[in-house]
Each structure stands twice: as C-alpha cells, then as structure tokens.
Amino acid sequence: MSDDTTKRGKADRTRINTRQAFEVRHWTKTLGVTKQTLMAAVKAVGPMVKDVKRYLIEKIRAAG
C-alpha cells in the first residue's frame, strides 16, 4: 500500500510498508499472523507480498 491512503490499486497490494500502522494491521489480518511474525518475515525476505507469503508457507511446512 502506498503512503497516500486515498490511492488504491495494484501497486498498493504488492508491498508491505511496516512503517504504516494501518498496513501492519491489514497484512496481519489478511495473512493471519501476529505483528511480530509479519515483521520477522519482512525483515527476512523484504517487503514484497509474494515473498512474504512464500516465506510464511515455508515456515509452516518446516514446522509441520
């Protein structure tokens, strides 16, 4: 999501901006993870949603 909350669209859905509280709330709810898990995932693989999703799936598989 971009910093301009009035703008929505494809570009808004490809990155996770962990400096924006509303984005952290959105992505933790959307991905079903805690804030700490989201922050760790973004730190590990960067802000791209597709990379964060892949990282979280791999962590689930490794744990199971």
Q: Give tens-digit pLDDT for 20-33.
A: 999 999 999 999 99
Asked whether the beta carbons of 28 and 12 are under 8 A apart, the reply is no
pLDDT band at residue 64, thresholds of 50, 70 and 90?
confident
Asked if residue 63 has pLDDT above 50, the reply is yes
For 11-32, letters b (16+ CB in 10 Å) and e give eeeebbbbeeeebbeebbeebe
* Percent of the chain at pLDDT exceeding 70: 81
Q: What is the CA radius of gyration of the chain?
A: 12
Asked if residue 62 has pLDDT above 50, the reply is yes
User: What is the predicted pLDDT for the residue at 12?
Assistant: 67
Sign of the alpha-carbon dihedral angle for 58, 59, 63, 64? negative
